[in-house]
C-alpha cells in the first residue's frame, strides 16, 4: 500500500476471535498500527469496535488469534498488562477524581515516595510541569480537576497515559462532549502526540474529524474487517457504504400525510444556554416526525423543552397556536407526554410495580380529590397489560424485573391513559429485542393514526428511516435539514449528521 | 444508583417481623413467668411506645422520600415547652391549654417546614440540615424554659390528654392507634402518599412524570415536624411538666423502629405496618431489659447492635436479590 509496508508495525492484532454466548462478535480480525500513526477504527454500533478495544486493554480475554507489540507476541490479561505493554485508553467518561489536583490525579496509585512513606510532592509536581511544558497543554499542575473544562480534563488523561510511557493511546469518542473550538485544540494535541512518535487509535462517530485526521482507517462490519483505507484513498460516501454494507437503496414505504385540520406543533427559534441555537420545525397530527443527529446535537434537549422539563431562553413552542406551558405537570395536562431516553433511571420507579408506575402521572384522572382509588389504578393497569401484551402480566411485581421491551411498554402505557395530543419518544428501542421493537413501532404508528403528533428522537438511523414520515436532522444545536422520508438512505443521514451531503440526495 | 433488581415490595420482611415479636413474647413469658405476660405490663409497654409511635407516623415520610429527620426529639421538647408555658400564662384555663396545644403544633410544623425548605432549596443533605436544626431548636427550648423543668398540675385539658381514658384505654394509646390508621390511609389512598413513595424510589422518574419532587420533599418534613410536636405535647401532658431534655434520644429510637421495621434508608420502600412491628420489638426489648435487670448502659448497647443487624440484613437481602457480589472481608482486602 505505502511506505508503511517496509516498517515494523507497533501493534499487530492477528486473527482475533471472540464469542459471547450465542454470538460471534469478532471473526478473525486483523488490525495493525504503525508508530506515529493516527488510525481510526470505524463501524456501526455492534460492529465489534469496542470489543476489539476491550481485548486490547485486557478487559476481555480473546478466544483466538494473537497480539504482537513490535513483532513480539504479548499476553494481555488485565489493564496493568496493557499499561506495561505501552497501551493507554482515554475513556469516553473521564476517570479522574474531580476534587483532586492535576498532579494528584496523574500520579494516583503510582505516587513517587521519599524513603518508604513520605510522598515526594516536589518531584511529582516537577514531572507534571515538565510534561505540560513539552506538550504545550494549558493547565497548571495544581489546578483542581473540577475547575477545568472537559477539554482540559482530557489533556490530564493524556498526561496520565504519557506518564505510563504509553506508545499507543486509544481515544474513544473524545470529542463527544466538546464544542467545536475545544475539539480543534484537542486535534492539535493529537497531532503533537503524533509528532512525538506516539500512535493513536481514534474512534469517533463524527466522520469529518475522522477523515481530516486519520492516516488510515480500518472499517469493521459484523465482526469482520471490510476495508483498510489509506488517507489518500478516503472517499466519504464509500466509507459509509463499507460501514453499512448494504446496497444503499431506500426502501419503498408508505408515507403518511398530515391529517387535514389536525393539530400542529410549532417549534420556533428555540434556544437554550447550553446547546440549542434557533431550532425551528413543525410536527403534524397523523405523522411520525423523526429527530436525528449525533450525541450532543440537541435531540434530547429539544424534546425536554417541548415537555417543559428544560427551560429555554429564546423562541417559542406552540400547539395549535397556543404556547405550551413551561412546566412538565402543566404540559402533561395540555396533552404532551414524554418517553425518556433512559427508561430505567428516568422512565420508571423500578422498586414499584407496573400499577403504580402507570398511575404515577395520571392520578388527576384517577380521582378529582386528593384521595385516590387503588382499585381504578389496578383496573387501568390490567387494561394496559392486555392491550399492550405486557409480559409477565402480573400487576404486582417490581418493574425492575421486567425485560427492556416490557419496561418500555409500561412507560408508553402511562401516556396511553391520557387524551394525548403530542407524544415525544427519546430512543424508543435501545436494548430491546426485535419482536418487542416491532410492537413498539406499531403502538407509535397507532397513536399517530388516531390523530396524535409523534416525535421520535433516535440515534439509530435504521429506526428513523423505518418509522418516520419526515426527518429533522440536528447538527450542533441547529436544524441542518428537514427532509421528507422519501428516497433517503442511511448514508444520507450519517453524512448529514456530520454536516455533509451526498451528491444528488433528496431534499 | 438505587436500582434494586428483584427486590420485593417489602412483604418478606413484613412476614418475618411478627415472628420475632412472637418469639420475644414467648421467651420473656418463660423467663419471667407471671410478670411479663400480664395486662398491666402490656399496657405499660403500649404506653412506652406510643410516644415513639406518634413520632414514627410522621417520620416515616422523610425516610420513604430518601431523607432523614434527626430533629424530632428537639422539636418534641420545644413543642411541649410551648404548650405548657402558654397554658400557665393563661392561668390553666381550657382555652389557654387549647391555644397552647395549637401553638405547640404550629411550632413543630414550622420547624419541619424550615428543614424541608432549607434542604430542598439549597440541596443540603437532610442529615446535616436536621442535625443542625436539632441543635437550634433545642437551644430555643432551653432558653424559653430557662433550662428548668416547668411543672403544670392544674390544667384539666392537659391532665386529660395525658392520663384520660376512653373505654378504659389511655388517651395517648387511643391517639397513637388513630394516627397509625390515618398514616396507613394517607400512604395507601392519597396522591401525596403515592408520590412520596415514587419520589423516594426514583426522584428523576417522578419529575419526568410531571410531579414536583421538591414540594413532596418539603411536605414530608412538615409532617415529620408536626407529629414530633404532637408526641412532645402528649408527653408533656402525660408527665404534667415540660423540660427541654424530655425527648432527648427519641430520634434515635424512632429511627431504630423504622429501620428494623423494614423502611429502607435509601427511600422508596417500607410500610407503616412493618414499622409497627419494629416499634413493638423495640418496646418489648426495652421492657424486657428492665424486667431482667440489665443495666442502662447495656440497654443502649443492645439497641445499637439491633440497628446494625437490621440494616446488615436489609443490605444483604438487597444484594442477594440484585445478584451483586456480596462484600466479603477477603474481597475488601484483596488487591484491586
pLDDT per position as a tens digit, A124-173: 999 999 988 887 788 999 999 989 888 888 889 889 888 888 999 999 88
Q: B168: which residues sit within 8 A by CB, 6+ positions away?
A: none
pLDDT band for position A255 (cuts 50, 70, 90): confident
Nearest CA in chain B to A366: B191
The grid cell for A421 is 395530543
- Nearest CB among B2, B190, B206 relative to A360 is that of B206
Does the pLDDT of residue A14 top 90, yes or no?
yes
Residue A363: its chain B contacts at CB < 8 A? 191, 194
Quote the CA–CA distance of A177 and B31 in Å, as a whole number. 68
Q: What is the pLDDT of residues A265-321, one digit of tens each?
A: 999 999 998 889 999 999 999 999 999 998 888 999 999 999 999 999 999 999 999
Does the pLDDT of residue B223 top 60, yes or no?
yes
**A199: part of which helix (H) or strand (E)?**
strand A199-203
Q: What is the pLDDT of residues A323-332, one digit of tens each?
A: 999 999 999 9
Cβ of B205 within 8 Å of Cβ of A345? The answer is yes
- Nearest CB among A348, A396, A400 relative to B5 is that of A400
| Interface list for B 69-128 with A (CB within 8 A) | none
Residue B1: its chain A contacts at CB < 8 A? 345
Q: Is the peptide bond before A392 cis (omega within 30 degrees of 0)?
A: yes
DSSP letter string, A296-362: TSSHHHHHHHHHTSS--SEEEEEETTEEPPSSHHHHHHTTEEEE-S-IIIII--TTSBHHHHHHGGG
| Residue of A339, A360, A411, A426 to mutate for B, most B C-beta atoms under 10 A | A360
DSSP secondary structure code for residue A282 in this structure? E
> What is the average per-residue pLDDT within A459-482?
92
The grid cell for A271 is 434556544
Does the pLDDT of residue A243 top 60, yes or no?
yes
> What is the average per-residue pLDDT within A467-474?
94
> What is the average per-residue pLDDT within A447-467?
92
Q: What is the pLDDT of residues B93-141, one digit of tens each?
A: 999 999 999 999 999 999 999 999 999 999 899 999 999 999 999 999 9
Nearest CA in chain A to B185: A371
Cβ of A372 within 8 Å of Cβ of B6? The answer is no
DSSP secondary structure code for residue A486 in this structure? S
Label residue A172 left, alpha or beta by phi (over 0 means left) and psi (-120 to 50 means alpha). Answer: beta
Domain locations along chain B: 17-335
Cβ of B188 within 8 Å of Cβ of A374? The answer is yes
The grid cell for A464 is 428513523
Does the pLDDT of residue A250 top 90, yes or no?
no
Q: What is the pLDDT of residues B69-99, one digit of tens each?
A: 999 999 999 999 999 999 999 999 999 999 9
Q: Outline where A200-272 has alpha helix (H).
A: 207-213, 236-244
pLDDT band for position B221 (cuts 50, 70, 90): very high
Does the pLDDT of residue B8 top 60, yes or no?
no
What are residue A472's DSSP bridge partners?
Answer: A291, A482
Kindly report the nearest CA distance between residue B4 and chain A, in angstroms.
Answer: 7
Beta carbons of B162 and B228 less than 8 angstroms apart: no
Whether A414 contacts chain B with CB within 8 A: yes
Q: A38-42 and A216-221 as β-strands: parallel, antiparallel, unpaired?
A: parallel
Quote the CA–CA distance of A388 and B9 in Å, as a whole number. 24
- Nearest CB among B6, B195, B198 relative to A400 is that of B6
Quote the CA–CA distance of B258 and B261 in Å, as a whole number. 5
Write the ipTM: 0.78
| The 3-state secondary structure of A423-483, one letter per residue | EEEECCCCCCCHHHHHHHHHHHHHHHHCCCEEEEECCCHHHHHHHCCEEEEEECCEEEEEE
Kindly report the nearest CA distance between residue A353 and chain B, in angstroms.
Answer: 8
Q: How many helices (H) and strands (E) does chain B have?
A: 14, 4
Q: What is the pLDDT of residue B9?
A: 41
Whether B268 contacts chain A with CB within 8 A: yes
Beta carbons of A482 and A252 less than 8 angstroms apart: no
Q: What is the pLDDT of residue A360?
A: 93
Beta carbons of A311 and B181 less than 8 angstroms apart: no
Whether A309 contacts chain B with CB within 8 A: yes
Kindly report the nearest CA distance between residue B194 and chain A, in angstroms.
Answer: 8
pTM over 0.90: no
Q: What is the pLDDT of residue A445?
A: 94
Q: What is the pLDDT of residue B3?
A: 33
| Distance from the Cα of residue B64 to its chain's centroid | 12
User: Can you tell me which residue has the cell 419520589?
Assistant: B199
CA gyration radius, chain B: 21
Phi–psi pair at B170, nearest 5 degrees: -55, 140
Cβ of B7 within 8 Å of Cβ of A398? The answer is yes
Q: Which is nearest to A425 in space by CA: A438, A409, A402?
A: A409
Q: Is A81 exposed, middle or buried (0-12, 13-18, 19+ CB in 10 A)?
A: middle
Give the sheet arrangement for strand A453-457, strand by strand. A336-339, A422-426, A453-457, A288-292, A470-475, A478-484
Rounded to 5°, angle at Cα B206 from B204 and B207: 65
The grid cell for A292 is 436525528
Measured CA to CA in angstroms, residue B130 lies from B20, B78, B113, B223 at distances of 32, 15, 11, 14
**What's the CATH architecture for B17-335?**
Orthogonal Bundle (1.10)
Quote the CA–CA distance of A421 and A438 in Å, as a whole number. 23
Cβ of B205 within 8 Å of Cβ of A347? The answer is yes
Cβ of A349 within 8 Å of Cβ of B198? The answer is yes
Cβ of A331 within 8 Å of Cβ of B210? The answer is yes
Arithmetic mean of pLDDT over chain A: 88
Nearest CA in chain A to B199: A349
Q: B29: which residues sit within 8 A by CB, 6+ positions away?
A: B36, B37
- Coil/strand/helix, residue B204: helix
Nearest CA in chain A to B3: A350
Beta carbons of B205 and A347 less than 8 angstroms apart: yes
Measured CA to CA in angstroms, residue B279 lies from A91, B10, B56, B74 at distances of 49, 17, 9, 20
Residue B3: its chain A contacts at CB < 8 A? 344-345, 350, 400
Beta carbons of A411 and A339 less than 8 angstroms apart: yes
Whether B186 contacts chain A with CB within 8 A: no
Beta carbons of B142 and B153 less than 8 angstroms apart: no
Whether A58 contacts chain B with CB within 8 A: no
Q: A314-319 and B169-170 as β-strands: parallel, antiparallel, unpaired?
A: unpaired
Cβ of B209 within 8 Å of Cβ of A356? The answer is no
Quote the CA–CA distance of A298 and A279 in Å, as a whole number. 9
Quote the CA–CA distance of A186 and A499 in Å, as a whole number. 20
Whether A426 contacts chain B with CB within 8 A: no
- Nearest CB among B6, B9, B209 relative to A361 is that of B209
Does the pLDDT of residue A450 top 80, yes or no?
yes
Whether A400 contacts chain B with CB within 8 A: yes
- Coil/strand/helix, residue A87: strand
Half-sphere exposure for A148 (CA within 13 Å, toward CB): 27
Cβ of B201 within 8 Å of Cβ of A351? The answer is yes
Cβ of A356 within 8 Å of Cβ of B198? The answer is yes
Q: Which is nearest to A456 in space by CA: A276, A283, A333, A246?
A: A283
Q: What is the pLDDT of residues A68-114, one digit of tens each?
A: 999 999 999 988 899 899 999 887 666 788 899 999 999 987 888 88
Count of pairs with CB atoms under 8 A, one residue in A, one in B: 97
pLDDT band for position B7 (cuts 50, 70, 90): very low
Residue B13: its chain A contacts at CB < 8 A? none
Q: Outline where A137-290 has alpha helix (H).
A: 150-163, 180-195, 207-213, 236-244
Cβ of A372 within 8 Å of Cβ of B9? The answer is no
Cβ of A349 within 8 Å of Cβ of B201? The answer is yes
Burial of B131-163, coded b for 16+ CB within 10 Å and e otherwise, reads eebbeebbebbbeebeeeebebeebebbbebbe
Kindly report the nearest CA distance between residue A372 and chain B, in angstroms.
Answer: 5
Cβ of A370 within 8 Å of Cβ of B198? The answer is no
The grid cell for A273 is 444556554
Cβ of B191 within 8 Å of Cβ of A370? The answer is yes
Whether A372 contacts chain B with CB within 8 A: yes
Amino acid at each position: 500500500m505505502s511506505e508503511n509496508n517496509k516498517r515494523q508495525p507497533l501493534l499487530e492484532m492477528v486473527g482475533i476471535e471472540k464469542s459471547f454466548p450465542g454470538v460471534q462478535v469478532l471473526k478473525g480480525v486483523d488490525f495493525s498500527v504503525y508508530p506515529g500513526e493516527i488510525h481510526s477504527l470505524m463501524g456501526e454500533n455492534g460492529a465489534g469496535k469496542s470489543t476489539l478495544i476491550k481485548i486490547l486493554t485486557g478487559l476481555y480475554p480473546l478466544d483466538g488469534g494473537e497480539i504482537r507489540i513490535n513483532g513480539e507476541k504479548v499476553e494481555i490479561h488485565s489493564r496493568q498488562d496493557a499499561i506495561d505493554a505501552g497501551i493507554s485508553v482515554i475513556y469516553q467518561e473521564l476517570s479522574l477524581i474531580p476534587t483532586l489536583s492535576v498532579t494528584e490525579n496523574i500520579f494516583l496509585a503510582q505516587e513517587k515516595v521519599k524513603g518508604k512513606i513520605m510522598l515526594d510532592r516536589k518531584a511529582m509536581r516537577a514531572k507534571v510541569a515538565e510534561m505540560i511544558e513539552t506538550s504545550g497543554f494549558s493547565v497548571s499542575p495544581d489546578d483542581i480537576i473540577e475547575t477545568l473544562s472537559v477539554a482540559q480534563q482530557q489533556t490530564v488523561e493524556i498526561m496520565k497515559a504519557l506518564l505510563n510511557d504509553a506508545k499507543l493511546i486509544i481515544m474513544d469518542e473524545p470529542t463527544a462532549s466538546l464544542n467545536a473550538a475545544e475539539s480543534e485544540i484537542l486535534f492539535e494535541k493529537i497531532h503533537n502526540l503524533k509528532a512525538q512518535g506516539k500512535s493513536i487509535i481514534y474512534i469517533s462517530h463524527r466522520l469529518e474529524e475522522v477523515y481530516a485526521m486519520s492516516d488510515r482507517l480500518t472499517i469493521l462490519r459484523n465482526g469482520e474487517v471490510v476495508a483498510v483505507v489509506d488517507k489518500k484513498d478516503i472517499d466519504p460516501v464509500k466509507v459509509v457504504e463499507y460501514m453499512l454494507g448494504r446496497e444503499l437503496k431506500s426502501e419503498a414505504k408508505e408515507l403518511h400525510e398530515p391529517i387535514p385540520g389536525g393539530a400542529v406543533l410549532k417549534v420556533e427559534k428555540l434556544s437554550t444556554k447550553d446547546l440549542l441555537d434557533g431550532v425551528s420545525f413543525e410536527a403534524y397530527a397523523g405523522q411520525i416526525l423523526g429527530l436525528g443527529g449525533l450525541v450532543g446535537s440537541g435531540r434530547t434537549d429539544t424534546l425536554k423543552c417541548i415537555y417543559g422539563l428544560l427551560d429555554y431562553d429564546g423562541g417559542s413552542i406552540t400547539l395549535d397556536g397556543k404556547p405550551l406551558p413551561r412546566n412538565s405537570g402543566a404540559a402533561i395536562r395540555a396533552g404532551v407526554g414524554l418517553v425518556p431516553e433512559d427508561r430505567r433511571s428516568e422512565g420508571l420507579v423500578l422498586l414499584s410495580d407496573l400499577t403504580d408506575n402507570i398511575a404515577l402521572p395520571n392520578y388527576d384522572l384517577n380521582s378529582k380529590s386528593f384521595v385516590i382509588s387503588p382499585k381504578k389504578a389496578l383496573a387501568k393497569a390490567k387494561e394496559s397489560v392486555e392491550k399492550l401484551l405486557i409480559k409477565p402480566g402480573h400487576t404486582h411485581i417490581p418493574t425492575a424485573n421486567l425485560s427492556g421491551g416490557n419496561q418500555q411498554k409500561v412507560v408508553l402505557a402511562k401516556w396511553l391513559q391520557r387524551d394525548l395530543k403530542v407524544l415525544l419518544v427519546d430512543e424508543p428501542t435501545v436494548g430491546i429485542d426485535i419482536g418487542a421493537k416491532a410492537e413498539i413501532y406499531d403502538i407509535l404508528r397507532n397513536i399517530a393514526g388516531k390523530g396524535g403528533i409523534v416525535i421520535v428522537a433516535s440515534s439509530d438511523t435504521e429506526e428513523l428511516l423505518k418509522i418516520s414520515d419526515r426527518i429533522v436532522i440536528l447538527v450542533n444545536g441547529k436544524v441542518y435539514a428537514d427532509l421528507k422520508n422519501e428516497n433517503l438512505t442511511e448514508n444520507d443521514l450519517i453524512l448529514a449528521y456530520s454536516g455533509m451531503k451526498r451528491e444528488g440526495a433528496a431534499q | 444508583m438505587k436500582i434494586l433488581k428483584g427486590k420485593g415490595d417489602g412483604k418478606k420482611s413484613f412476614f418475618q417481623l411478627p415472628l420475632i415479636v412472637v418469639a420475644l413474647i414467648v421467651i420473656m413469658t418463660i423467663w419471667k413467668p407471671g410478670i411479663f405476660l400480664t395486662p398491666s405490663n402490656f399496657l405499660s409497654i403500649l404506653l412506652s411506645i406510643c410516644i415513639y409511635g406518634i413520632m414514627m407516623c410522621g417520620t416515616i415520610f422523610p425516610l420513604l422520600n430518601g431523607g432523614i429527620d434527626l430533629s424530632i426529639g428537639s422539636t418534641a421538647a420545644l413543642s411541649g415547652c410551648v404548650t405548657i408555658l402558654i397554658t400557665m400564662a393563661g392561668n390553666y384555663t381550657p382555652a389557654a391549654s387549647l391555644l397552647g396545644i395549637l401553638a405547640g403544633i404550629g411550632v413543630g410544623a414550622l420547624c419541619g417546614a424550615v428543614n424541608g425548605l432549607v434542604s430542598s432549596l439549597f440541596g443540603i443533605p437532610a442529615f446535616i440540615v436536621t442535625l443542625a436544626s436539632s441543635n437550634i431548636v433545642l437551644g430555643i427550648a432551653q432558653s424559653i424554659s430557662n433550662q428548668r423543668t416547668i411543672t403544670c398540675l392544674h390544667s384539666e385539658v392537659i391532665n386529660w390528654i395525658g392520663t384520660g381514658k376512653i373505654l378504659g384505654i389511655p388517651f395517648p394509646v387511643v391517639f397513637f392507634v388513630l394516627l397509625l390508621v390515618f398514616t396507613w390511609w394517607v400512604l395507601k389512598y392519597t396522591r401525596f402518599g403515592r408520590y412520596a413513595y415514587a419520589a423516594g424510589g426514583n426522584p428523576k422518574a417522578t419529575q419526568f412524570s410531571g410531579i414536583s419532587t421538591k414540594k413532596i420533599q418539603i411536605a414530608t418534613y412538615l409532617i415529620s415536624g408536626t407529629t414530633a410536636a404532637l408526641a412532645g405535647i402528649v408527653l408533656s401532658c402525660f408527665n404534667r411538666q415540660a423540660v427541654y431534655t424530655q425527648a432527648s434520644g427519641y430520634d434515635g429510637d424512632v429511627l431504630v423502629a423504622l429501620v428494623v421495621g423494614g423502611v429502607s434508608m435509601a427511600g422508596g420502600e417500607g410500610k407503616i405496618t412493618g414499622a409497627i412491628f419494629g416499634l413493638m420489638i423495640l418496646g418489648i426489648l426495652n421492657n424486657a431489659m428492665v424486667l431482667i435487670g440489665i443495666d442502662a448502659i447495656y440497654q443502649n448497647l443492645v439497641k445499637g447492635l439491633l440497628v446494625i443487624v437490621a440494616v446488615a440484613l436489609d443490605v444483604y437481602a438487597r444484594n442477594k436479590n440484585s445478584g451483586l457480589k456480596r462484600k466479603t472481608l477477603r474481597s475488601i482486602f484483596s488487591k484491586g
